[in-house]
Structures are given as C-alpha cells and as structure tokens.
Structure 1
Amino acid sequence: MKKCIFLFFLLIFHFIGWSATLSVQNNLQLWLKADAGVTTSGGYVSTWADQSGNARNASQSDTSKRPVLVSNAINGLSAIRFDGSNDGLLTSAFQAFPNKRGSVFIVAKSVFDGTTGHMLGTYYSSGITWQFYHNQDTLLYWDSVSADIIPQSIVNSEFKTYSIVRNSNTNINFYQNGTLKTNFEIADNQPEVKPLNIGSNVNHTNLEAFNGDIAEILIYGTSLSESERASVEQYLGEKYFNLAPVPEPSSLLLVFVSIFIYLYLKMN
C-alpha cells in the first residue's frame, strides 16, 4: 500500500515538475538563449553560442563593446544586457527570410533613453536588409525601403515576447506575448545573406545602440503555422513568464490513471 501511494505521488511530482521545452526545431536558423552557451570574460560577453546546431555564434572581439551577462534578470534566468552606448554582437552570415518567409521571436525589455534602439537585424550594411527596433515606446520594422510603425506601444523596462511572422511576400503578422497585435505591409523584396546585428548596428558609425536586456532569440527560415507559432510562444511563456504549461495527452492520462489507482487502493 505504501509503495503504491509513493508511486502515485512520484507520478504527480513528475507532472508538476514540467519544464519548458522547445518542440518546434525544424528550419530553426538561429537560437540564442542567455541561460546556455554564453562565454564571458570579467562578466562581459565575448561569445553567445548558437543552440540551433548551425554554429552561427554571436560574438564581439572589441572588449569595449561587449554586453554584460546578468543573472536572475527574468524569472530567475539570465539575460544579455546592452548599455545603449556601443554594445553589440554579430553572428556569421546567413539567409534570413528565405523565399521571403520567416519567423522571428525575441524576449527583450527596453530602457527608454531618448534614442533609437536596434534590437536585431542586418540594417546598415549595403543591399537589402531588415531591422526590428524601437524609438522610445514605438516599435518599428525596416524593410530596406521604409520604416513601418508597429501600432503597439512597449512598456519601459518590462520584458515582452515579440514575434514577427512574414507569411507572404508583402505581409508581416506581429504578436506580443502570443497575442496578434497587428499586421502590416512591407516591400516585396528578399533580404540578402548577411550577419545578424544584435544590440546595435555593429561596425557602423550610426550604431543605434539598444539600451536593455535580451533573454532569447529564435529565427526560423519559414513562416510557422499557427500551431507551431503558438507552441514556440508557449515555450517562451512557460520559461520566462510562468505561463501554465499545456500538458501532452499522455501526461494527462498518466495523472488520471494515478489518481484512479490511488482512490481504488484507498477504498480497498
């Protein structure tokens, strides 16, 4: 009897001990998370290792331009802090939005300092580029022709999950914390193969340095389906914002069977 009760509670605790897992990894081009693969020197980040398996690590060779790794920045987890002056990281070159499709997720918070803050993109290099950035509480997306204002204000010093899904040649759906906020038209062009700038326009005189923290970045080379996008945002929500997990059917079945066994044994 005691063994059965022990088994029951073991199964329950296994369910309760659910941890956030990224299940959507097909066509994952870049995956940076501050709780893994970060190399520091004196607390300053020299390399942020790509977890996608593509080895597109973000790095900074100039010691005066390295961001800081901050522990316990969000929900007990680390984040990379950019100073709004000159910090920035640069990946190796890759094709973002191949065939004019793609999905970008970033968990970040901004500190308003009166300047433009580049979060990520390939802007300020020659050719066709893209950029996700903010000016105070206004979010913007640069499509290499013009800046599209995203009609969704951001809150000073508050972490959010921002999701950009390019699902056609000229349309982007924008989500905040998993909720569709707007969609907007962009230029019908193909961004070129370039390194990704994170935190500033690295190696350009107009840095547009970002003042704030970035906890995680995911870039997919395809327009994710609604269920795939929701799954990625669920993972980020569980991890950073204590969003209640959505259990697999097998886990629910395990719990119900355990409860049934426990009640049966208790009655007999």
Structure 2
Amino acid sequence: MRNLLIHILCMIIFLSCSGGSGSEGSGGELFQSKTISNVFVLDLPTGKTYSDGENIDISLDHSQIISVSGAPRLTLTIGSTTKYADYLTGDDSRTIVFRYTVQSSDQDLDGIEINSQIDLNGGSLDYTYQGEVQAASQSFSLKDSSGIIVDTALPGPEITNFIEPFNGTYAEGAELLFQVNYEADVNITGNPRLALTVGSSTTFANYSSGDGSSSVIFSYTIQAGDDDSDGIALASNSIQLNGGSIQAVSDSANANLDVSSFLDSMASVIVNTSSGITAPDQVANLSTAPTTSNTTLALSWSVPNDNGTTISSYAVQYREQGSIDWTNLSPNPSSNSTSVSGLIEGTTYEFRVAANNGLLGPWSDVETAEIFDIASLSPIAWLSATSITNGGTEPTDGDKIASWEDLSGAASAATESDPDEQPIYEEDVFNGLPAVRFDALTRSLEGTFTRVSNNGLTVFIVAKMDANNPRKCLFEFYSDNGNQNDHRGFFFTYGMNEANTNHNLDDTTFNLWTAYDTGTHTDLWENGQVIYSNNQNWQGKSTAFTGAGAYVLGDDQTSGDQFNGYIAEFLIFDNQLSTSDREKVETYLKNKWGTP
C-alpha cells in the first residue's frame, strides 16, 4: 500500500514537470514564467506653442530593452500636411525618442495629430525575451495632443488702442465709428468686421478705412428698429477677418485681432430709433481762432438745424495732426463756441464738433489749425465781437456796447459814454457768430494805442457794409501829435487810405479786408484777392508816426462819414507782416467768420 502511494506521487510530479500529454491548462501553468507586456506607452512633451526651428520630442516607453535599427519614425499631421518625427535616440533602452523640427511653413493652431502606428520605414524595433528576439509592437494608444500648437507666423503688429464711439444717444441713420490703432501700418483685404450686440441682436461694424495706415476704422449705420437703452457691446472681443486679412505692411505678418485689453464700457453709447425725435443736422462752418494765450484756440461754428428738438449741448473732439486718438473736450459746451486750452504752440491740431438734442448728430468736417502766438506779431489793437469783454460776462442780443475790450494788451478799450452813440451787440449775425452793429453813430467807439515803430502797418477787418452806402468809414486811426496829416482810415467802398476812387468793394456779405500801409502807399486785398497794389495814400496822408495814437470805429474824425453796417473783428499790427504771417492771420479770420 505504501509503495502504491509513492508510485502515484512520482507520476504526479513527472506529469507536472513534463507537462504530460495534456494541452495548456492541464496544470503546467504552475511552473511557467509570467507573460510580458509588448506595448509602447506614449509620452508627450509639455503642451505649448512651437515656432520655426523648435523641436517637438515624442517618446515611446516599453517594458523591455529595445534594439533599434534603421530609421523608424512617427507620422504626424500638422495643419493638413503629413510630417514625420524621426528616430532620435533610445537604442538599447526602454525609451525611444522621436523628434520633429518645426519648419517655417508649418501652422497648426488647434494642435498636431499623431498616428498610432509606428512607421518602421525599413528599420526594426526588437527586444530579447528568454533568449529569443521578439518584434516590438508597432501600435500604441494615443493621448490628447491638442495642446501641442505650431505657429510659425511672424509676430504681427500689436493693437495699441481701441476707441469706441463717442458717448451719446444715436438715432436711425447715425454712424457708429470704431477705431483700432496698431503699432505699425497694416494692409487690409476683404471685409474684416466687428461683431456688435445692439439690444438683443447681433450686427456688424464693417471695415471702412485705414488700408496702409496704423488706424483701422469700422463703421455701423443705425437701422430702423435698432434700440439699446443700456448701451451697445461687442459680441466678440476679436476682429473677425470674414475672409479678409489684416497684415503688416512691412512683412505681411498677421496683425493681432484681440481688442479686449483696450475695451472700455459702452454703456453710454445708446441706440434709440423710436424716440420720436430727429437728431440735429451736421455741424457746419467750424472755425478756429487764436486767443491771447499761445496755448489756447477758440472754436466757433454755425448752429445746425435742430430738426424740431432744441440742441442742449455739443460734443467737441481734438487731436494733434497725425495722431489717431481723439480727445474729448469736457465739459460739453452748450453754445456754438468754446475754447480748447493746454495746446502746444507751433503744433497743428484737428477739431470736429457734433450737436446733441437728446440724439447725437453727425460729426462736422475736420477743421485744422496751427497754434501760433498772435502777440508775437506785435498787434497794437485787436477787437473781436466774440470776446467783447475779454474774459468777463459777454453781452446779450440787443445790448448797447459802452466798452469793447482790446485783446492785444497794447491798446485801451474802445469806449463810448453816450448811450445814444453806442453800437448794438447782435447775436448770430454771420456764421453763427455775433457782430457789432453801427447805425450812423457819431465817432462811436474810440480807443488809444502806442506805436513803437513807423515801419508800416498791417490792418485786418472783418465787416459788412449796408448795400448802396458808398464813402462811409469803417475806422480811422491817427496820431495824437497834432499833425493833421498823420491819419488815415478805411472808407467803404473805396478802400484803405483811399477816398477819391471807388474800387467797388463788396457790400453783399461779410468780407475780410487786409491792407499793407508803408506810410505813404497801400496794398489792399479783399478775401485774399488783390484790389490794388502800391497805391499812393490819398492827399499825401501819412501813417509813418510813432508814439501815442488813437482810433475810432464806425466813423472818422470829421464825423461826416458815419458807417451803417457790422464790424466783427479788427486788428492792427505795428509792422508790415511777412506774406506767410499775413496769410496765417487771414486763414484764421476766414475760418472763423466763414468769409468768401
């Protein structure tokens, strides 16, 4: 019995060691080695944006030491193009590294793709197990590679500013302008646009202008039914190319499109097409004028049609010529004139104005003016109907003028104590501006000045003579030295220093007259056109005096040439201005008063 048990035990051991005659699963597994994993595991580089010349290294890890021969590779899709990451290193190791070097033409902004099958490319990947060479698996599981971005486009121009429409309420037909400023000039193709949210609707401000410059303008015209009481907004913070392009002029690099860093609230850009009122017409006749300060310009403009609703204020913007950013004047003026201070002498500025009656009207045409110091041209008298008091409380329509203050600082005010001989201040006489009305007044306003040079005079006057009233005197100036020949005036329609030849000066509208007086001869211009040159002064009268002098407006010393009409502005300079300085003063007067 004992021997039988020993025999049976020996048979069991024998069968277990030899595997017997049974198939796998008959119990021999107890003595076999464990099965290895013949699988590569993908190891991706850190997700980032790769540019031209940068390397993308992709690793495959295996449980066994891999022998590499030939040039196996990984297949990549970059954009829509097939590329290959070639074998780099890893022979006789458990990690195989493949490398792709980004090329200048590569572009894939949503992440590269990796094929899950190794391309042996005529090579091999093997490992040895229990003395036998085994082929490594060529497949592997993928991982998310969308973070591996390829962008080889050259850095394009960056946005430096985004300017929203002016705060206000806009009606049907009004234009909303958006300005995107770049650090460099850009070329525009197609129709880029900005997506807007107006009320609950999405609409688009389309490209309007700016090709070849650093400032790109987008425009949207308010349509019937558009309403947004809490302010419009951008539906997207990026410019939509819409099949077009915005690229640097210098190298065609794609420009930045994201405006979010410069976006301000547009809660005050209101759209109301159902208010029942109509926005004012476009402001016209915007003009500029120097002041007694060389850092301040005066602005004035015609009052536009309010279309049935009273204009409450005006929006005024200005900028240096060549600049792309508008500055808003604050507070908004309520009348059709204002001044802009803090400017730089010798700098040319641009200005524009829009009227507001609860709805903002269209912007005026841009007016350009250079800041210059009029005092440096040595005026000896300067009167303007837009500044009767030179900083005080201005008169109102119909007021009598007892004193008209000098702006030059070199003359006294022109005064008249007798109310019966005082001229009348009238508003909105010409170009929306006031003027002083004279009606046959005897030696009305008179002032004094002092001459330090007798090297000629330059005289400017903006005025209007009543029609069919020849040989009347707008002004006369004279010496206080007692010499009866040291005087001369401006007679209508004869001219400066002329009293016997009718030159038929215009009496149909306001005009700008300029005169050069050498002391014995005179040149005269009407609205920049020559009337006469080197004309001898009447009866040898001379203006070549120095010292104390005086002037009278609306008459002469004889009290026999009383004027009927308006005087708007009057300047005398104690020298013959250069052509450029004369034209500069003429330009400012023409722009201000809207003379022909």
TM-score w.r.t. structure 2 length? 0.35
CA shift at 1:180, angstroms? Answer: 2.2
Partner residue, 2:385: 34
Is the 1:60–1:89 contact (alpha carbons within 8 Å) kept by the matching residues of 2? Answer: yes
CA shift at 1:176, angstroms? Answer: 0.9
Equivalent position amino acid for 2:162 in 1: C
The structure with the largest strand share of the pair is 2
In structure 2, C-alpha distance between the alignment counterparts of 1:21 and 1:49, rounded to whole Å: 25
CA spacing shift, 1:35–1:2, aligned 2, 3 Å:
same
Q: Say which SS state the counterpart of residue 154 (structure 1) adopts.
A: coil
CA shift at 1:207, angstroms? Answer: 3.6
2:437 to 55, 58, 81: 81
Is the 2:424–2:438 contact (alpha carbons within 8 Å) kept by the matching residues of 1? Answer: yes
In structure 1, C-alpha distance between the alignment counterparts of 2:565 and 2:371, rounded to whole Å: 25
Task: Percent identity, please.
Answer: 24
In structure 1, C-alpha distance between the alignment counterparts of 2:471 and 2:499, rounded to whole Å: 13
Q: How does 1:155-234 map to 2 (within 5 A)?
A: 155-166=506-517, 168-183=518-533, 184-186=535-537, 187=540, 189=542, 190-191=544-545, 193-201=548-556, 204=558, 206-234=559-587
Q: Say which SS state the counterpart of residue 401 (structure 2) adopts.
A: strand
- Encode CA deviations 1:94-151: one digit per residue, 9 max, x unaligned: 339x3241100000000035463211113698522111112xxx32334xxx736363
Is the 2:426–2:436 contact (alpha carbons within 8 Å) kept by the matching residues of 1? Answer: yes
2:451 to 78, 95, 102: 95
In structure 2, C-alpha distance between the alignment counterparts of 1:117 and 1:224, rounded to whole Å: 27
Equivalent position amino acid for 1:70 in 2: E
1:154 to 500, 505, 527: 505
Is the 1:141–1:148 contact (alpha carbons within 8 Å) kept by the matching residues of 2? Answer: no
CA shift at 1:54, angstroms? Answer: 2.0
Q: Say which SS state the counterpart of residue 587 (structure 2) adopts.
A: helix
Q: Does 1:109 align with 2:448?
A: no
Is the 1:20–1:239 contact (alpha carbons within 8 Å) kept by the matching residues of 2? Answer: no
Equivalent position amino acid for 2:383 in 1: L
1:133 to 473, 491, 505: 491
In structure 2, C-alpha distance between the alignment counterparts of 1:25 and 1:47, rounded to whole Å: 22
Q: How does 1:10-25 map to 2 (within 5 A)?
A: 11=324, 13=326, 15-17=350-352, 18=367, 23=372, 24-25=374-375
* More displaced stretch, 176-185 vs 220-229: 176-185
Q: Which runs of 4+ in 1 moved over 4 A?
A: 7-10, 18-22, 39-42, 123-126
Q: Tell me how many residue pairs correspond in the alignment.
A: 232
- Encode CA deviations 1:58-86: one digit per residue, 9 max, x unaligned: 11011110000111111111111001243
Partner residue, 1:264: none
CA shift at 1:200, angstroms? Answer: 1.4
CA shift at 1:28, angstroms? Answer: 1.2
Is the 2:487–2:541 contact (alpha carbons within 8 Å) kept by the matching residues of 1? Answer: no
In structure 1, C-alpha distance between the alignment counterparts of 2:578 and 2:526, rounded to whole Å: 17
- Encode CA deviations 1:146-165: one digit per residue, 9 max, x unaligned: 736363x2233410000011
Q: What 5-or-longer segments of structure 1 have no aligned partner?
A: 244-268
TM-score w.r.t. structure 1 length? 0.74
Equivalent position amino acid for 1:34 in 2: A
In structure 2, C-alpha distance between the alignment counterparts of 1:241 and 1:169, rounded to whole Å: 31
Partner residue, 1:56: 412
In structure 1, C-alpha distance between the alignment counterparts of 2:449 and 2:572, rounded to whole Å: 13
CA shift at 1:233, angstroms? Answer: 0.2
Provide the alpha-carbon RMSD of the alignment: 3.1
Is the 2:527–2:595 contact (alpha carbons within 8 Å) kept by the matching residues of 1? Answer: no
Is the 1:139–1:154 contact (alpha carbons within 8 Å) kept by the matching residues of 2? Answer: yes
- Encode CA deviations 1:15-67: one digit per residue, 9 max, x unaligned: 34347677233211111000113465960001110011224211101111000
Partner residue, 2:162: 4
In structure 2, C-alpha distance between the alignment counterparts of 1:140 and 1:155, rounded to whole Å: 11
Equivalent position amino acid for 1:107 in 2: V
CA shift at 1:191, angstroms? Answer: 4.2
In structure 2, C-alpha distance between the alignment counterparts of 1:171 and 1:66, rounded to whole Å: 33
In structure 1, C-alpha distance between the alignment counterparts of 2:550 and 2:499, rounded to whole Å: 20
Q: Does 1:71 align with 2:71?
A: no
Q: Say which SS state the counterpart of residue 234 (structure 1) adopts.
A: helix
CA spacing shift, 1:91–1:188, aligned 2, 3 Å:
closer
Bigger radius of gyration, 1 or 2?
Answer: 2
In structure 2, C-alpha distance between the alignment counterparts of 1:212 and 1:130, rounded to whole Å: 20
CA spacing shift, 1:89–1:19, aligned 2, 3 Å:
farther
CA spacing shift, 1:131–1:44, aligned 2, 3 Å:
same
Partner residue, 1:236: 589
The structure with the largest helix share of the pair is 1
